[in-house]
Amino acid sequence: MAKVRVLAVLSLDGCLSEKKGDANWALRPKGYGIDKLFDTADYELTSLYPTSRLAEDKSDSLFLIEATQETATYINGLLRLQLVDEIIIYTVPFIAGTGQYLFKSNLPTSHWQLADKKEYNGDILCTIYRKRHIQE
């Protein structure tokens, strides 16, 4: 089954960057491992990709979608359909105060397990969560 991975760079208060390249959110250097995430993905997912195809995909493909203001609604749809397998969050020590939040209200309950965490330069934290499958 295809695997869907979400990459999000969030402020301390959970906001997405307002625009790419904002100096407060500059995380593209290779030292943070983001380029490696894109290199290991088979496909970069966009909001144009039909969710029905993801649900039916039986391959071992790895899809990566970066959370932006443009993709946040699509990512929430993926979460509602429970198609996301892994969430990678880079937390930047910056309070935006206002902005768009990645996770919207009324998402279905799902359980996640911390798979890894890494600190960069003593102030940026990367946490990786994998979907936990609860036995009923």
**pLDDT per position as a tens digit, 40-89:** 999 999 888 888 888 888 889 999 999 988 899 999 999 999 999 999 99
Q: Total domain count for the chain?
A: 1
Give the per-residue pLDDT at 126.
93
* Structural domain that includes position 100: 3-132
Of 12 and 116, which is predicted with more confidence? Answer: 116
Q: How many CA atoms, within 13 angstroms, populate the side-chain half-sphere of residue 3? A: 12
Task: Work out whether the CA dihedral 59, 51, 104, 17 comes out positive or negative.
Answer: positive
| 70: CATH | 3.40.430.10
Q: How far is it, in rounded angstroms, from Cα 127 to Cα 71?
A: 20
Of 126 and 92, which is predicted with more confidence? Answer: 126
The C-alpha R_g of the chain, in whole angstroms, comes to 15
**pLDDT per position as a tens digit, 17-47:** 765 544 445 544 456 888 889 999 999 998 8
